[in-house]
């Protein structure tokens, strides 16, 4: 064990103490003391892909400072520092180990854009350290992790936003409002579409860890496996130890909209997902084609389809949603939507987007990403998670639908789920997929 790993024992002790305190005083934890003029000091974790968007969003906000970058690949540090400075910020501190950033008493929040297997642990550690969290989708890598994240957020009274940006897009919000109004009748079925072309990833042999990559920190909670260049930096999505297929990658956005439109806060009773990896023989473990069907006790249905190969669109939609009611149906694509009534498909109310849609973080009618990030900062300054449009609990519920579907796919059969126990009914094999084994010391704790 390295000196650095040994030194992290102090962090673990500190977290254990915070957990004990949280169990006693719960939501009475003291408010975060923000920097001068309500400045929010934030760390960005993971900066190769989506994390760069995080940097752009935080950099354009008044009173938000990027003070830490957490990135295990040191080759990215120089370009990232230049990006932050070019966008008007000061040079941030860098680390490969998120715990070093969380030790900083002046840090207020962390935004995570890491591979999926790191999402939950970074968020829980952050809550225990008194920090707020903006967590990318999918919120978690397993269903149990979502339960722990919600527990941690509530116990430490932290603001935890899930990066399902549609919750802050004006057009989508108006669509959901219309669906819930009853004008389309009872919404009995929703469908999420993810028709995103994905080429073969080919074959790559295992090899030496590249210079500058802290592979121990990159792996984190995942089980040890030899380094392969397929993992870094994007293709990790297609390996079960790190990702969750496109159903758990792009899928959470449209899954969330589908559940939201159905107005379902509980979990479905029956889940069946079929599919496979077609056309390509390569290193990818996850499917490129999936069709999931989920049914609630009242008979309402949520379908989700992933087509990663050559395909037509569905009513012109490749990434979006369809809703079906007892009076008509809705086409929802981005922030634009159209409704049709009766067997003649007579056009009804519609919304064709904001004419002058710009990335204005103060305008909920503007770009959803900017509004979603600004919503997080507003909630942090108010110390009030109820102001969030995408609270951790909503993210947990929608991400769970993705995990349930993937578990059914991996087992090759229909499953029955109990929403009260959050376990499968009489199915120990399926229950074994609710969580996973963690690699010490990167362990999601039973007691947060």
CA atoms within 13 A on the CB side of 121: 27
pLDDT of amino acid 246:
98
pLDDT of amino acid 353:
85
DSSP state of 389: S
d(C-alpha 138, C-alpha 250), whole Å:
9
Q: Residue 263, by phi and psi: left (phi above 0), alpha (psi -120 to 50) or beta? A: left
pLDDT of amino acid 37:
58
Structure tokens, 146: 């979502």
- According to CATH, the superfamily of the domain at 169-363+391-431 is Dihydrodipicolinate Reductase; domain 2 (3.30.360.10)
Strands ordered across the beta sheet of 319-325: 346-351, 336-341, 328-333, 319-325, 187-194, 301-307, 289-295, 270-276, 415-418, 423-424
Confidence of residue 395 (pLDDT cuts 50, 70, 90): very high
pLDDT of amino acid 5:
45
Q: Is the pLDDT confidence value at 15 over 50?
A: no
44 bridge partner residues: 69, 111
DSSP E strands in 219-360: the ranges are: 270-276, 289-295, 301-307, 319-325, 328-333, 336-341, 346-351
DSSP state of 27: G
* CB 169 within 8 Å of CB 335: yes
249 contact partners, CB below 8 Å, separation of at least 6? 138, 237, 243
Give 4 or 143, the one with higher predicted confidence: 143
Confidence of residue 368 (pLDDT cuts 50, 70, 90): low
Coil, strand or helix at 16: helix
Residue among 48, 96, 38 nearest 217 (CA): 96
Q: Which CATH architecture describes the domain 3-166?
A: 3-Layer(aba) Sandwich (3.40)
Strands 40-45 and 64-70: parallel
Give 4 or 176, the one with higher predicted confidence: 176
Q: Is the pLDDT confidence value at 23 over 80?
A: no
d(C-alpha 279, C-alpha 200), whole Å:
9
Q: Is the pLDDT confidence value at 31 over 70?
A: no
d(C-alpha 386, C-alpha 270), whole Å:
31
Return the domain boundaries, the chain. 3-166, 169-363+391-431
pLDDT of amino acid 359:
39
Confidence of residue 18 (pLDDT cuts 50, 70, 90): very low
When pLDDT is averaged across residues 328-351 and rounded to a whole number, the result is: 97
Confidence of residue 34 (pLDDT cuts 50, 70, 90): low
When pLDDT is averaged across residues 258-281 and rounded to a whole number, the result is: 98
Q: Based on DSSP, count helices (H) and strands (E) in the chain, helices before strands.
A: 13, 16
Query: What value does the mean pLDDT of the chain take?
Result: 91
pLDDT of amino acid 38:
85
pLDDT of amino acid 369:
73
Range name among 115-129, 144-158, 365-379 with the lowest pLDDT average: 365-379
Tell me what percent of the residues of the chain surpass a pLDDT of 70: 89
This prediction's pTM = 0.91
pLDDT tens, residue by residue, 119-150: 999 999 999 999 999 999 999 999 999 999 99
């Amino acid at each position: 064990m390295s000196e650095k790993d040994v030194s992290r024992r102090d962090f673990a002790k500190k977290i254990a103490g915070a957990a004990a305190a949280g169990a006693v005083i719960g939501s009475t934890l003291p408010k975060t003391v923000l920097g001068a003029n309500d400045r929010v000091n934030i760390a960005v974790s993971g900066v190769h892909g989506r994390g760069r968007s995080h940097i752009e969003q935080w950099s354009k906000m008044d009173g938000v400072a990027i003070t830490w970058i957490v990135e295990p690949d040191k080759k990215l540090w120089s370009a990232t520092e230049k990006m932050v400075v070019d966008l008007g910020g000061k040079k941030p501190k860098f680390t490969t180990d998120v715990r070093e950033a969380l030790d900083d008493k002046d840090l207020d929040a962390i935004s995570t854009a890491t591979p999926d297997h790191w999402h939950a642990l970074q968020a829980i550690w952050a809550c225990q350290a008194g920090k707020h969290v903006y967590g990318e989708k999918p919120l978690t890598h397993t269903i149990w992790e979502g339960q722990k994240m919600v527990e941690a957020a509530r116990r430490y009274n932290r603001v935890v936003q899930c990066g399902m940006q549609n919750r802050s897009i004006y057009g989508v919000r108006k669509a959901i409002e219309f669906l819930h109004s009853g004008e389309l009748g009872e919404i009995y079925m929703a469908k999420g579409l993810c028709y995103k072309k994905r080429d073969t990833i080919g074959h790559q042999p295992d090899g030496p860890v590249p210079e500058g990559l802290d592979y121990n920190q990159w792996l984190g909670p995942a089980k040890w496996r030899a380094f392969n260049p397929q993992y870094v930096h994007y293709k990790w999505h297609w390996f079960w130890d790190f990702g969750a297929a496109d159903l758990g990658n792009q899928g959470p956005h449209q899954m969330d909209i589908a559940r939201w439109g159905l107005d379902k806060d509980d979990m479905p009773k029956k889940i069946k997902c079929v599919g496979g990896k077609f056309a390509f023989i390569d290193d990818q473990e996850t499917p490129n084609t999936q069709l999931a069907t989920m049914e609630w006790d009242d008979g309402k249905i949520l379908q989700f389809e992933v087509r990663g190969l050559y395909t037509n669109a569905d009513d012109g939609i490749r990434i979006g949603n369809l809703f079906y009611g007892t009076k008509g149906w809705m086409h929802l694509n981005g922030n634009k939507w159209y409704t049709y009534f009766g067997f003649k498909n007579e056009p009804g109310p519609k919304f064709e987007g904001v004419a002058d849609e710009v990335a204005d973080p103060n305008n909920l009618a503007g770009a959803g990403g900017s509004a979603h990030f600004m919503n997080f900062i507003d909630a942090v300054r108010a110390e009030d998670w109820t102001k969030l449009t995408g609270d951790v609990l909503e993210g947990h519920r929608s991400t769970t639908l993705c995990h349930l579907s993937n578990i059914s796919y991996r087992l090759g059969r229909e499953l029955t789920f109990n929403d009260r126990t959050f376990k499968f009914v009489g199915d120990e094999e399926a229950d074994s997929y609710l969580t996973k084994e963690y690699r010490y010391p990167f362990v999601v704790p039973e007691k947060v």
